[in-house]
Structure 1
Amino acid sequence: MRKAMIVWGGWAGHDPDLCASIMRGWLKEEGFDVRMETSTAAFADPAIHDLSLIVPIYTMSKIEKEEAANLCAAVRGGVGLAGHHGGMCDAFRDAVEYQFMCGGQWVAHPGNIIDYRVDVTRPDDPIMSGIADFEYRSEQYYMHVDPANEVLATTTFDGEHAPWCKGVVMPVVWKKRYGEGRVFYSSLGHRAYELDVPEVKTMMRRGLLWAAR
């Protein structure tokens, strides 16, 4: 049986407890044994090197150097990493190796909750198969991203809330390699109920499975 670990906590505004429960359910349906943790200390456990998948849901907060180092080493060694929104890519802002591993870092969401479009750029990828471009209402994440990411979906800023960003095409969903590990990320899912949006749910479930060793 494949083993996964979900570590949730940090800023409560992203519903980390509810998101963790939802993803735990998805993974158990796929046959995973799921370990749930609420402290970053779990990342320092040597046993994580034997996992198939790690899911961080931990907006902002801090991670100790030894915790980040062990987490990054586990993924470099082949453990999968997958997550969404601020729970993965607005976590541990002072941990640059963690950001290097994730492939991006949130920096703004102009206009806060707005309507925007998500454009599928890789309909041929199994994660995106059958998913068409779709309208979405949430935070439109502006991110600093790794150009080595394999981008699966993007969004285009219209400049209404930050005129200097008009026309900027921003990655929304990507996958990448970090050493031997697979990394998947989606910037969608500001609140737990957004994980029920069919396109978001499908991408996340497939992304979790793709990342898992």
Structure 2
Amino acid sequence: MREALIVWGGWHGHEPEQCASIVAGMLQEEGFKVHLEPSTEAFASPRLHTMSLIVPIFTMSKIEKDEAANLSQAVREGTGLAGYHGGMGDAFREAVEYQFMCGGQWVAHPGNIIDYRVTITRPDDPVMQDIRDFDYRSEQYYMHVDPSNEVLATTTFSGEHAFWIEGVVMPVVWKRRHGHGRVFYSSLGHVAKEFEVPEMRTILRRGMVWAARA
């Protein structure tokens, strides 16, 4: 049986405990044995190297150098990494090794909670199968992203809340490699209620399964 580790904590506004429980249920439905840990100390454990998948849900906060190094090494060796929104994309702002692995870092969400459009750029990818462009209400993430990412979906900024970024096309969902490991990220999913949006939930679920080591 494949095993997944969810490490949750950090800023309470993203409801990490509730979301970790939802993600755990999704992975269990996919046949994973799931472990949940509420501390970054879990990233220093040798067992990371035996996991099929690691899911960080830890907005902001800090990660120790040995924790980040062990996590990065585990992924480089083949453990999968997958996550969403600030739980992965706005975690550990001072840890550039972590950001290099994830392929991006949140820097702004102009207008805070707004309506925006998600455009599917790779409808042929299994993660996006049968998902069409859709409207979404949440924080529209503006991110610094790695050009090597394989982008599966984007969003375009209107400029209403920051006129100088009008027309900017920003990745929303991507895949990448970090060494031998697969990495998946979706910027959708501010709070637990957003898991009720079928597209958000399906994209994350499929992305986690894709990233997981067989």
Considering the TM-score relative to the shorter chain, is it more than 0.5?
yes
SS in structure 1 of the partner of residue 161 of structure 2: coil
Work out the CA distance in 2 between the residues paired with 1:198 and 1:63: 32
Q: Are positions 1:11 and 2:15 aligned together?
A: no
Work out the CA distance in 2 between the residues paired with 1:27 and 1:158: 35
Q: Could you say which residue in structure 2 is the equivalent of 1:24?
A: 24
| Higher alpha-carbon deviation: 100-109 or 26-35 | 26-35
1:76-87 → structure 2 map (5 Å cutoff) = 76-87=76-87
The amino acid that maps onto 1:133 is D
Q: Could you say which residue in structure 2 is the equivalent of 1:212?
A: 212
Q: Could you say which residue in structure 2 is the equivalent of 1:148?
A: 148
Q: Are positions 1:134 and 2:134 aligned together?
A: yes
Q: Could you say which residue in structure 2 is the equivalent of 1:51?
A: 51
1:196 shift after superposition: 1.6
Work out the CA distance in 1 between the residues paired with 2:168 and 2:81: 27
Work out the CA distance in 1 between the residues paired with 2:109 and 2:88: 16
1:31 shift after superposition: 1.1
- 1:18-46 C-alpha deviation (Å, 9 max, x unpaired): 11000100111111111100000000001
SS in structure 2 of the partner of residue 4 of structure 1: strand
Work out the CA distance in 1 between the residues paired with 2:47 and 2:21: 22
- 1:147-197 C-alpha deviation (Å, 9 max, x unpaired): 000000000000000000000000000000000000000000001110120
SS in structure 2 of the partner of residue 127 of structure 1: helix
SS in structure 1 of the partner of residue 126 of structure 2: coil
The amino acid that maps onto 2:145 is V
1:9 shift after superposition: 0.1
1:15 shift after superposition: 0.7
SS in structure 1 of the partner of residue 137 of structure 2: strand
Q: Could you say which residue in structure 1 is the equivalent of 2:91?
A: 91
Q: How many aligned positions are there? A: 213
TM-score by length of 1: 0.99
SS in structure 2 of the partner of residue 111 of structure 1: coil
SS in structure 2 of the partner of residue 131 of structure 1: coil
The amino acid that maps onto 1:109 is H
CA RMSD of aligned residues (A): 0.4
SS in structure 2 of the partner of residue 148 of structure 1: coil
Where does structure 1 lack aligned partners over 5 or more consecutive residues?
Answer: none
Work out the CA distance in 2 between the residues paired with 1:173 and 1:196: 18
SS in structure 1 of the partner of residue 127 of structure 2: coil
Work out the CA distance in 1 between the residues paired with 2:80 and 2:45: 16
Q: Are positions 1:172 and 2:180 aligned together?
A: no
Q: Could you say which residue in structure 1 is the equivalent of 2:190?
A: 190
Q: Are positions 1:73 and 2:73 aligned together?
A: yes
- 1:117-147 C-alpha deviation (Å, 9 max, x unpaired): 0000000000000000000110000000000
TM-score by length of 2: 0.99
The amino acid that maps onto 2:11 is W
Work out the CA distance in 2 between the residues paired with 1:120 and 1:47: 36
The amino acid that maps onto 1:208 is M
Work out the CA distance in 1 between the residues paired with 2:175 and 2:166: 25
Q: Could you say which residue in structure 1 is the equivalent of 2:112?
A: 112
